[in-house]
């Protein structure tokens, strides 16, 4: 309502107008991404500003004695009608604004949207007919405003809208950022206080001022998104991506996601320069907005972009992916001329392919096959990538929740067939994926930096087993073989940790043997030399693992401090891998025996391999044909029972 007392209303109206102008100016300067939410916010500001100006004009006209009463009455009546007409729409617009902030408008069906607008339509009709009915308000002989029954009903309806806003706030507060919740609650409380005060004390015209202050709070806490924007491309950043994914998943709203990965970004930046490449990244964002102005684009990492498309059908998303792919084929113009930038586009969806925000973000980080670069990957072609992401997540959870377990595969003597040693194997037992094979999770663990952590944990578990069970259980075991998982594990920290654990669990160093593959030996020669010397001096055994037909590149000097080698049966005996493998294997075993090296033949997983390795030299053998990996309790029983396998000559 408009108070006609100039001194009582002017200060509130002027303050509200100044705050509104400030909000309009600041919002315009911000130049945030175009969105329906931003437009609704601007409409709210314009309404408050207009109401403030209308109130000032009306109060001023009412105080000018020289204006004829009829003219004064008509002007004030028109201004009050206009004020009412736009002012009661504020709470309805704010309700829709809240639905965009909370991302719940998709839950409103067409009927519900019409029902929401129906009371406002009735109020506006009543205002338009008020000159005839005087049901909303009237003016006395001094052109002073007076609320009628319809005006109070309109305020009651506004209160019902207000209650609807409060219910929405409490119902969906978990799905919205706490800062936004606080800003929305602040606006609602401030507006409610202003409305109640002005209804109870008509001379205190503070309703518009309270709304203006509340909107300024929304502008600062909701509309200002500096912390969510990438400074270079003006796309949203990783923080915004995780927040928005969390919100939309929390609302259980289906959506499609397009991930654009610019391949070899570092090379492009070196070739064309940082500034030129950054301009290309900004142009990519502009291209996406050119397809759809209201799409949210997010930059994750160096040159990866995400597009979230709520409630989109497959055809629409596929067409967009094809359009983007075609645009990358055209190339980009830089200071050095036209440059073609290769990009891989991945298309996925929630909840069909992904169920968690962290998994979706991994689309920009998971490794791709060489043949997949520069293509559009979707549907079944995503299965390998999805599996990789699931395993990576399982590794992280497995470390934090102790789901990695050490198993022991028996190692038997080739001459006696009796159990002699054990090979430690690490297994991941995930609740969702079940048992994950070492060969599957290890490359992912190495790429993500978990290899060293897993190695240390496995070594400590083995040391604890040897110290607490073997020494006290009188197991006649030669050694436990531990596989070095990655080249980066070969460092001083490994040596120090092993030496400390030997002392901590009182383990005889001769019970420990490390398997270092020939590939790692070639990749980390300097670190290898240090580790080998330290372990050799400590009394720890060393085996050169993965020894094959190409391992002759390892020099005899490097082999000097190794106790022996590990040969995989399939590398020599698989007819698809090598011809006359048994002859090569026999020659290698004879040579190594002459050098005084112990030979462990692993991977004996079937009867054919078993029978063939009995014909060549060697000291130890292991494989699933003789025994599957066992728990520490099961391996103890095997040693206590002097387990042995039947050799060919004994059958």
187-196, 304-313, 457-466, 579-588: segment of lowest average pLDDT: 579-588
410-419, 484-493, 497-506: segment of lowest average pLDDT: 484-493
User: What sign results for the dihedral spanned by CA atoms 46, 47, 53, 54?
Assistant: positive
Can you tell me whether residue 293 is helix, strand or coil? Answer: coil
User: What sign results for the dihedral spanned by CA atoms 531, 537, 541, 545?
Assistant: positive
The domain limits of the chain are 6-224, 227-377, 402-650
Of the CATH numbers 3.40.50.300, 3.40.50.720, 3.20.20.450, 3.40.630.10, which one belongs to the domain with range 402-650? 3.20.20.450
645 alpha-carbon distance from chain centroid: 50
pLDDT-derived band at 5 (thresholds 50, 70, 90) equals: very low
Question: How do residues 179-226 score in pLDDT, each as one tens digit?
Answer: 778 888 888 888 888 888 877 777 777 888 888 888 888 888 877 777
Q: How far apart are CA 411 and CA 405, in angstroms?
A: 19
71 token code pair: 């003219």
**Closest CA relative to residue 17, chosen from 209, 150, 192, 255:** 209
Q: How far apart are CA 253 and CA 193, in angstroms?
A: 35
Q: DSSP code of 435?
A: E
pLDDT-derived band at 542 (thresholds 50, 70, 90) equals: very high
User: What sign results for the dihedral spanned by CA atoms 447, 483, 645, 587?
Assistant: positive
pLDDT-derived band at 459 (thresholds 50, 70, 90) equals: very high
CA atoms within 13 A on the CB side of 351: 9
More confident residue, 368 or 354: 354
Residue 399 has pLDDT above 80, yes or no: yes
- How many C-beta neighbours within 10 Å does residue 166 have? 16
Q: Which fold has domain 6-224?
A: Rhopdopsin 7-helix transmembrane proteins (1.20.1070)
161-165, 281-285, 337-341, 570-574: segment of lowest average pLDDT: 570-574
The arrangement of secondary structure in 227-377, i.e. its CATH architecture, is 2-Layer Sandwich (3.30)
Whether the model pTM is above 0.75: no
> What's the confidence (pLDDT) of residue 539?
93
Residue 649 has pLDDT above 70, yes or no: no
More confident residue, 514 or 71: 514
Can you tell me whether residue 288 is helix, strand or coil? Answer: helix
Mean pLDDT for the chain? 82
149-153, 327-331, 523-527: segment of lowest average pLDDT: 523-527
pLDDT-derived band at 644 (thresholds 50, 70, 90) equals: confident
Q: How far apart are CA 502 and CA 133, in angstroms?
A: 96
């Amino acid at each position: 309502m408009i108070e006609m007392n100039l001194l009582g209303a002017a200060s509130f109206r002027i303050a509200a107008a100044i705050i509104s102008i400030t909000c309009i100016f600041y919002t315009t300067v911000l130049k945030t991404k175009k969105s329906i939410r931003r437009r609704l916010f601007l409409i709210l500001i314009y309404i408050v500003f207009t109401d403030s100006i209308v109130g000032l004009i009306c109060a001023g006209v009412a105080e000018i004695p020289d204006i004829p009463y009829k003219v004064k009455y008509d002007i004030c009546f028109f201004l009050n009608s206009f004020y009412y007409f736009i002012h009661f729409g504020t709470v309805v617009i704010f309700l829709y604004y809240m639905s965009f902030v909370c991302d719940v408008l998709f839950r409103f069906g067409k009927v519900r949207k019409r029902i929401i607008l129906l009371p406002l339509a009735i109020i506006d009709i009543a205002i338009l007919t008020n000159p005839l009915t005087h049901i909303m308000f009237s003016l006395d002989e001094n052109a002073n405003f007076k609320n009628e029954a319809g005006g109070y009903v309109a305020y009651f309806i506004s209160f019902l809208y207000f209650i609807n806003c409060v219910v929405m706030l409490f119902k969906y507060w978990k799905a919205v950022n706490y800062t936004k919740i606080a800003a929305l609650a602040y606006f609602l409380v401030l507006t409610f206080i202003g409305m109640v005060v002005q209804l109870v004390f008509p001379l205190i015209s503070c309703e518009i001022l309270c709304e203006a202050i509340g909107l300024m709070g929304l502008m600062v806490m909701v509309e200002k998104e500096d912390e969510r924007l990438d400074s270079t491309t003006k796309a949203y950043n990783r923080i915004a991506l995780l927040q928005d994914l969390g919100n939309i998943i929390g609302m259980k709203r289906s959506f499609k996601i397009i991930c654009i990965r610019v391949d070899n970004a570092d090379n492009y930046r070196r070739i064309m320069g940082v500034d030129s490449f950054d301009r290309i990244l900004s142009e990519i964002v502009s291209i996406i907005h050119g397809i759809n102005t209201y799409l949210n684009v997010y930059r994750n990492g160096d040159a990866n972009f995400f597009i979230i498309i709520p409630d989109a059908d497959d055809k629409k998303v596929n067409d967009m992916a094809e359009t983007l792919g075609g645009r990358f084929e055209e190339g980009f113009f830089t200071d050095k001329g036209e440059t073609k930038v290769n990009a891989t586009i991945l298309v996925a969806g929630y909840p069909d392919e992904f169920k968690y925000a962290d998994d979706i973000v991994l689309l920009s980080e998971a490794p791709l096959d060489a043949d997949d670069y520069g293509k559009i990957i979707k549907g079944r072609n995503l299965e390998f990538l999805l599996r990789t992401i699931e395993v990576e997540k399982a590794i992280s959870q497995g470390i934090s929740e102790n789901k990695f377990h050490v198993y022991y595969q028996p190692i038997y003597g080739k001459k006696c067939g009796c159990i002699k040693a054990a090979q430690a194997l690490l297994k991941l037992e995930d609740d969702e994926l079940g048992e994950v094979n070492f060969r599957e999770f290890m490359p992912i663990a190495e790429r993500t930096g978990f290899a060293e952590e897993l190695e240390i944990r496995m070594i400590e578990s083995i040391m604890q087993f040897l110290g607490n069970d073997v020494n006290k259980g009188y197991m006649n075991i030669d050694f436990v073989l531990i596989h070095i998982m990655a080249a980066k594990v070969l460092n001083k920290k490994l040596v120090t940790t092993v030496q400390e654990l030997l002392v901590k669990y009182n383990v005889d160093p001769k019970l420990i043997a490390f398997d270092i593959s020939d590939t790692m030996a070639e990749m980390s020669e300097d670190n290898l030399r240090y580790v080998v010397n330290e372990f050799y001096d400590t009394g720890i055994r060393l085996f050169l693992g993965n020894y094959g037909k190409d391992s002759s590149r390892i020099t005899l000097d490097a082999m000097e401090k190794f106790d022996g080698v590990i040969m995989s049966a399939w590398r020599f005996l698989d007819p698809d891998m090598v011809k006359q493998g048994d002859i090569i294997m026999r020659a290698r075993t004879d040579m190594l025996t002459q050098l005084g090296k112990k030979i462990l033949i692993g991977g004996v997983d079937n009867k054919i391999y078993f029978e063939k390795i009995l014909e060549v030299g060697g000291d130890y053998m292991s494989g699933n044909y003789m025994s599957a990996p066992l728990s520490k309790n099961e391996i103890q029983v095997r040693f206590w029972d002097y387990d042995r396998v039947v050799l060919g000559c004994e059958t």
